[in-house]
Amino acid sequence: MADITISDTKLYIVIPVEPVEIRVEIGDAQVGGTSIMLDGVQRQVGDEWERIGGPGEDLSFKVVHCVTTVRDVNAATNHTSVTYTLRGGLQQESFPYDAVVSEGGVARYVIDFVFVA
């Protein structure tokens, strides 16, 4: 079965030197994992708030790359959904995505967030 890949690039307005946090929620009782990469440094994030960048780091005009891979394990639905939420910038914003896959299929969300001041 072929994977479904969703790709998108979004802007997020940050306040220079203010910390930015991200939370990634995988809904529909499905299972998935997220890797984020900033300046070549990778780490896994989940549905808890995670700080992006180091203390005092200016994130203006930087790109954080997120890849969330979700597999359908819920017998009741083949729907998958991922919500990225950012806070610490001008305002808290949520970016929802969803996909319907085949039974046991995989949806891959490849989302870039570009921080602008």
Q: Which stretch binds another protein (CB under 8 A): 15-23, 49-57, 76-84?
A: 76-84
Residues 105, 109, 110, 113, Cα dihedral to 10°: -170
Question: Comparing C-alpha atoms, which of 48, 52, 32, 15 is closest to residue 110?
Answer: 32
Judged by CB under 8 A, the chain residues 18 through 47 that form the site for another protein are 25-35, 37, 40, 42, 44, 47
**CA dist., res. 46 & res. 22, Å (int):** 9
Query: Based on CB atoms, which residue is closest to another protein, 88 or 108?
Result: 108
The site for another protein (CB under 8 A) is made up of: 1-11, 25-35, 37, 40, 42, 44, 47, 61, 63, 65, 67-71, 73-79, 81, 83, 95-108, 110, 112, 114, 116
